[in-house]
Amino acid sequence: MIKKEELRLLLDLQELEINIKKLEKLIQKLIQEEVELRKQLAHVEQEEATLLLELKKLDDEIRQTNQEISICMEGIKRAEERLSKVRKAQEYKALLREKARYEDCVIKLKDQLKLLQAERKQKEQTYKNQKKNLEVKHRELKEKLEEISLESELTKGKLEQLKQERNKLINHIPEHALREYENLKSSLELPVIVPVVSFGACGGCGMKLPSSLYSKVMLGEVVICPNCARLIYYEA
């Protein structure tokens, strides 16, 4: 039989444990939110890195094309210099063909360069437009992460405090009462100690108590619900 003073201690313990469970769920929720935010942040950073990489690749291609144009231009210059010195018609024709190949190369490379420069300009504009949005997203995500981190730390502090209070309280609860409470907890979800509610029903499962049990509850006794096995008391 649970005595009145034991009941009060058990109710205090139950309230602490319900709050502990709420905080533990909140911490788990915050951890999941943090993981999701970090994924989003990584995605935003990856988007920006991809855009920069595309610009760098185009810069490399433009630089390489310019180098190839310079090489071809040098080839034209060398062919022209040699043309002024040759005497044989066959050699002269060969140099003209060589010069023509270099000139054709320059034309194709310059066309390629224009396309690369146009693509580079378009990519740069895309980057500028997206960069603003990415910076806003990045800042918002960082701020949310800081808020969650702070809330998580505060919640962990509260949780630790409640656990300490629970441990202290347990030391003041008689062993038989604590054992009965723990046995109920092993098979039922909290709360395991509930008040009788309107019309004499169990505050846990809602079943109306038999008259004999209801009378005992109203006289201050703690009874066991015949349906859910919770402890029922009258809350004055």
Per-residue pLDDT tens listing for the chain (236 residues): 788 899 999 999 999 999 999 999 999 999 999 999 999 999 988 988 998 999 999 999 999 999 999 999 999 999 998 888 888 888 889 999 999 999 999 999 999 999 999 999 999 988 888 888 888 888 999 999 999 999 999 999 999 999 999 999 999 999 999 999 999 999 999 999 999 998 899 999 999 999 999 999 999 999 999 999 999 999 87
Indicate if the alpha-carbon torsion angle 27, 30, 36, 39 is positive or negative. negative
Break the chain into its structural domains and give their ranges. 19-173
CB 2 within 8 Å of CB 180? yes
CATH 1.10.287.1490 fits 19-173, yes or no: yes
- Token look-up 């390489």 returns 64
Distance of CA 152 to the CA centre of its chain: 14
Coil, helix or strand at residue 207: coil
- Token look-up 């060589």 returns 98
User: Residue 224 pairs with which residues in a beta bridge?
Assistant: 231
Query: Does the pTM of the predicted model rise above 0.75?
Result: no
Phi, psi of 197 (to 5 degrees): -110, -175
The reported pLDDT for the residue numbered 133 is: 85
As a 3-state breakdown, the chain gives helix, strand, coil percent values, each rounded to 5, of 80, 5, 15
User: Residue 133 pairs with which residues in a beta bridge?
Assistant: none
Please work out, in degrees rounded to the nearest 5, the angle formed at the alpha carbon of residue 128 by the alpha carbons of 124 and 132: 160
Residue type, 75: G
**Hey, what are 221's tokens?**
């006794």
222 C-beta neighbours (distance < 10 Å), count = 20
CB 123 within 8 Å of CB 22? no
68 C-beta neighbours (distance < 10 Å), count = 16
The reported pLDDT for the residue numbered 132 is: 83
Distance CA 202, CA 205 (A): 6
Closest by CA position to 73, among listed 85, 65, 62, 84: 65
Please report the beta strands in the chain, taking only residues with DSSP state E, as ranges in sequence order. Answer: 193-197, 201-202, 223-224, 231-233
User: Between 4-83 and 175-187, two packed helices, what is the crossing angle to 10 degrees?
Assistant: 50
